[in-house]
Amino acid sequence: RAQGLFISVEGIDGSGKSTQARLLAEGLAAAGHDVVVTREPGGAPGAEAIRRLLVEGDPARWSAETEILLFNAARRDHLERTIQPALDRGAVVITDRFADSTRVYQGVARANLRPLVDRLHDLVIGIEPDLTFVIDMDARAALARGLARRSGEDRFEELGLGFQEALRAGFLALAQEYPARVQVIDGTRAPDVIAQDMAARVTAHLR
């Protein structure tokens, strides 16, 4: 399908996804790779417009099912406009969240909608990352980090400790479900130590 390398970074809010996506991109770019770093929901103009529909306004505006449709619409646009063109030219694409976030948020933590999530993914997305990093850490510590940070990037960060713990369990379950793709990263270490660990794992994939 693709000539490039497709990497996703997943994990609970405050686990360090955005930090590590940036550090990984910087390291690979310094080593001479063509690198695209992007994010979900969003990552393309249309997908960012859908993101605004999801994160602005009354959180109860959408049903869980409608939310899944909107996430898939955004992801399809992101794939068409940003991810696939970059992979086709041989780039390394690093996305801060991808389909595993929908599997966990909508499929596990919110309601038992995983079958709908999987069917829609097969219909309209159809690709998985070559490599997924789940940055794992204690939900309480991650939540404290998230709250210490800027506020308002998205409402997924305001859902409380119990929800974050359910998400953490969901991400760890995905690592069991997809052992060839998903690697669990200890997110409690210093940022540069985590970055070195992840870069070494990517290098192994590039060989």
Contact 154, 55 (CB under 8 A): yes
Structure tokens at 46: 């249309």
Q: How many CA atoms lie within 13 A of 149 on its CB side?
A: 17
DSSP label at 184? E
- Cα–Cα distance for residue pair 5/16, rounded to 1 Å: 21
18, 183, 188, 196: which one binds Mg ion (CB under 5 A):
18
- Cα–Cα distance for residue pair 52/40, rounded to 1 Å: 12
Count the residues of the shown chain that bind Mg ion, applying the rule CB under 5 A.
2
Nearer CB in complex with ligand ADP: 69/169: 169
Count the residues of the shown chain that bind ligand ADP, applying the rule CB under 6 A.
14
- Cα–Cα distance for residue pair 155/164, rounded to 1 Å: 13
Q: Is the peptide bond before 191 cis (omega within 30 degrees of 0)?
A: no
15, 82, 106, 132: which one binds ligand ADP (CB under 6 A):
15
> Residue type for 17, please?
K
Torsion of CA 89, 93, 98, 100, to 10 degrees: 110
Burial of 169 (0-12, 13-18, 19+ CB in 10 A): middle
Minimum CB distance to ligand ADP, residue 7 (Å): 15
User: Residue 145's binding partner, choosing from Mg ion, ligand ADP, none, with beta-carbon cut-off 5 to 8 A by kind?
Assistant: ligand ADP
User: Residue 191's binding partner, choosing from Mg ion, ligand ADP, none, with beta-carbon cut-off 5 to 8 A by kind?
Assistant: ligand ADP
Nearest residue to Mg ion by CB is 18
Nearer CB in complex with ligand ADP: 84/196: 196
Among 29-37, 66-74, 86-94, 144-152, the segment contacting ligand ADP (CB under 6 A): 144-152
- The answer to whether 11 contacts ligand ADP (rule: CB under 6 A) is yes
Minimum CB distance to Mg ion, residue 142 (Å): 11
156-195 binders of ligand ADP (CB under 6 A):
190-191, 194
Which positions touch Mg ion (CB under 5 A)? 17-18
Which positions touch ligand ADP (CB under 6 A)? 11, 13-19, 145-146, 149, 190-191, 194
